[in-house]
Chains A and B, each alone.
Chain A
Amino acid sequence: MRAAGAPVARPFGAGRHVCWAYADRAEFVAVARRFFAEGRAAGGALRLVGGGLPDIDGIRCSSFPDPAAELSTWAAATEAALADGYTGLWVVGDATPLASPAFAAYEHQIDRFIARHPLFGLCAYDRRVVDPAALADLACLHPTHNVPGVPFRLHAEEGTGHLAISGELDSTGTAALARALDRAAPAVVDGELVVEAGSLDFVDHRSLLQLASYARDRGATAVLRTPLPAAARLVELLRVPGIRVEAS
């Protein structure tokens, strides 16, 4: 969990971005309450967004911002919360009706903001409604989620906002990795696409080839920063252009 328990000590640090797939309304309400209780204890401002939700602990539900202005809306709201003396902004959103590839792209954009600002987002999805494959694609763009069978997370690194990948990259996630990269559309800087993989637990050759191919298609070299000795060894064995490994 990003910055778990630390928001008061670091009021202007990173927030937290959680994907929560819920089974029914009761679970959603319980999880939202817990999140709000933590936010309240941390001195945060609280917001509830979604369609047709009941009040939760006295917090009125409002509708999601206009998709085109979503990022700037939350950035402004976070700043306003800080200006009002709160330590951050805690938002619970039921994003079930918004689940789509375009919204997945937004999930990564807001994740990059959250990695550097005290915005705390709980993105809830109704697992009875959202297609499991689409749900997995959304979950893997959060640093924390509760969706089983999602082997890796592609997210922003806390503090820097750099592209990071955590968990395990193996054949079960190769196709999802390609989709996640497409949605995140990470920036190429000086011909390099840097991936912070300090919390990556495993990487296989297919995923390395996938990263290399993604980088090559953008005229770049993927730089995987990882302490995993297997990553450097496999890249040396494969001799594919478009990727190198830096020990971290």
Chain B
Amino acid sequence: MTRSGAAADHVGYFHEAVYYDTDDELLAVLVPFLSGGVDEKEPTVVSLGPEKASLVRRALPAGVLGGVTFMTGGSVYARPAAAIRAYRELLAGYVASGAAQIRIVGEIPRPSFGATWHWWARYESAINHAYDEFPLWSLCAYDSRITPSAVLADVARTHPRSLHADGSHRPSSAYAVPSSFLASWPPVPPDVLQTGPPLITLVDPTASRARGAVSLVDPGLPADEVDELVVAVSEVVTNALRHGLPPVRVCYWAGPDRIVVSVTDGGTGPRDPFAGLVPSRDSATGGLGLWITHQSCNYVAFSRDESGFTMRLTAGNPL
């Protein structure tokens, strides 16, 4: 079995960005892409928000529409580590069923271009590695009209190439391999809550004590979200105590709609550039705990400065 289309001679993941200014421009790229997949009997998946999905449904010929699987983009793109897990399971299933290639078009929802963009940029970079074991050809759509320029710059750095309405495939000169992009860790802007003093600061607490402090600052978030944050705080403090350097300082802030917890230790943070995004079976290095942390928070930010390594965890609304 061979792959079809532009990725025919490619091994592994063929990752393309699509920049569009109008719906017509988007459809000019997507319709041939999806039709080609259905024609070749390749698993062909659309993972867009409801409006764009409906646009695509209306534009596809009836014979193509029936061969396309529509996933609800919003839930897939709730958290990067969860998206990687869901897609990897989907891809593995298709390959097990004999697929020579899988085609997917996806779009990260617009709210992710705000305060939480950093971990989505890490997602876009990490998947070059995380999906590379699969014969996947995917298009990541970005609406140039609403996407901030800093986000577009990251898109160019994380997508090896782009596909255009005229059918051309253009390499990205700004592309950086994941190990390089993910190791750079640009400064992450603080949450606005962090302009005030923390409600609680703990130094070298046990994981148990650090967990207990979460409920003390909870403004009344849904119990599941608080529960997930407790799991994340436990994992991150455990990692800091085991793999970081003292002192381990844990600070808690809360606003009406969110809890922010920062965990700082004197070390340099995880060495694995894919830390947190790709599941690790190796509990000894803290990789599994970091991955669970990424599955359990609405935002996780890393930063590193002369004083050490900080992970910031957010439950509730991180925007």
Interface residues of A (CB under 8 A from B): 151, 168, 170-172, 202, 204-206, 209, 228-230, 233-234, 237
Contact A205 B227 (CB under 8 A): no
Secondary structure of the A contact surface, majority rule: helix
For residue B48, CB closer than 8 A to chain A, the reply is no
B283 nearest CB neighbor, chain A only: A206
B292 nearest CB neighbor, chain A only: A205
User: B284 to nearest A CB, angstroms?
Assistant: 10
Restricting to B35-55, which residues have a CB under 8 Å from any CB of A? Answer: none
A171 partner residues in chain B, CB cutoff 8 A: 207, 238, 242
- Please report the C-alpha to C-alpha distance between residue A124 and residue B29 in the assembled complex, in whole angstroms: 77
Interface-centre pick from B206, B208, B242 (highest chain A CB count, 10 A): B208
Restricting to B207-237, which residues have a CB under 8 Å from any CB of A? Answer: 207-208, 211, 223-224, 227-228, 230-231, 234-235
Contact A172 B207 (CB under 8 A): yes
With A170-B208, A206-B283 in contact, is A229–B227 under 8 Å at CB?
A: yes
A168, A209, A230: the one within 8 Å of B231 (CB): A230
For residue B106, CB closer than 8 A to chain A, the reply is no
B230 partner residues in chain A, CB cutoff 8 A: 202, 230
User: B223 to nearest A CB, angstroms?
Assistant: 8
- Please report the C-alpha to C-alpha distance between residue A206 and residue B281 in the assembled complex, in whole angstroms: 11
Secondary structure of the B contact surface, majority rule: helix
Q: Which 7 residue pairs across A and B have the least CB separation, nearest first?
A: A171-B238, A230-B231, A170-B207, A230-B227, A229-B227, A168-B208, A205-B292
Interface residues of B (CB under 8 A from A): 85, 206-208, 211, 223-224, 227-228, 230-231, 234-235, 238, 242, 283, 288-289, 292, 295
A206 nearest CB neighbor, chain B only: B283
A234 partner residues in chain B, CB cutoff 8 A: 231, 292
B242 partner residues in chain A, CB cutoff 8 A: 171
B241 nearest CB neighbor, chain A only: A171
Contact A237 B208 (CB under 8 A): no
Contact B208 A151 (CB under 8 A): yes
Contact A170 B283 (CB under 8 A): no
A209 partner residues in chain B, CB cutoff 8 A: 283
B207, B223, B283: the one within 8 Å of A205 (CB): B283
A209-B283, A229-B223, A237-B292 are known contacts; what are 14 more A-B pairs with Cβ within 8 Å? A151-B208, A168-B208, A170-B208, A171-B238, A171-B242, A202-B211, A205-B288, A205-B289, A229-B224, A230-B228, A230-B230, A230-B231, A237-B85, A237-B295
A210 nearest CB neighbor, chain B only: B283
- Please report the C-alpha to C-alpha distance between residue A48 and residue B292 in the assembled complex, in whole angstroms: 50
- Please report the C-alpha to C-alpha distance between residue A168 and residue B210 in the assembled complex, in whole angstroms: 13
A151 partner residues in chain B, CB cutoff 8 A: 208
Contact B227 A170 (CB under 8 A): no
B211 partner residues in chain A, CB cutoff 8 A: 202
